[in-house]
Amino acid sequence: MKRAWFYVSLTSLLELFWIFGFNVADAWWHWAIIIPIIVVDFIILSKACELLPTGTVYAVFAAAGAVGTSLMDVFIFGESFSVEKGLFISILVIGVIALNLADQKPEPKLELEKGDA
């Protein structure tokens, strides 16, 4: 399970790299870097979907992209930050956490037979 969440974290981080690249790419060689990052990102995303519910993986991936891009716009590209923007970022984060909690299934309990104890 830890490996699955590592994949989700890595794919979310790589997403921010290629989105950043979209904002700054102005030469062919920038795209030569961005496109392989996108390919690797989607390979890792598919690995995460093999181990966790696809809806959860995609929700985390999309929310990380939305939140990360919004914060990148503010802190790197000089966009303004508003209370409304902060509120909606918080709602996204809360929604992803709630979805993750809703998708968690209790571990099946193993019953010991009388001779096993």
d(CA 64, CA 39): 18
**Tens digits of per-residue pLDDT, 33-67?**
999 999 999 999 999 999 988 888 988 999 999 99
* Contact in structure between 89 and 70 (CB atoms under 8 Å): yes
Q: What is the pTM of this model?
A: 0.76
Domain map of the chain by residue range? 2-103
Provide the pLDDT for residue 96.
Answer: 86
**Tens digits of per-residue pLDDT, 62-115?**
999 999 999 999 999 999 999 999 999 999 999 888 887 887 766 566 566 565
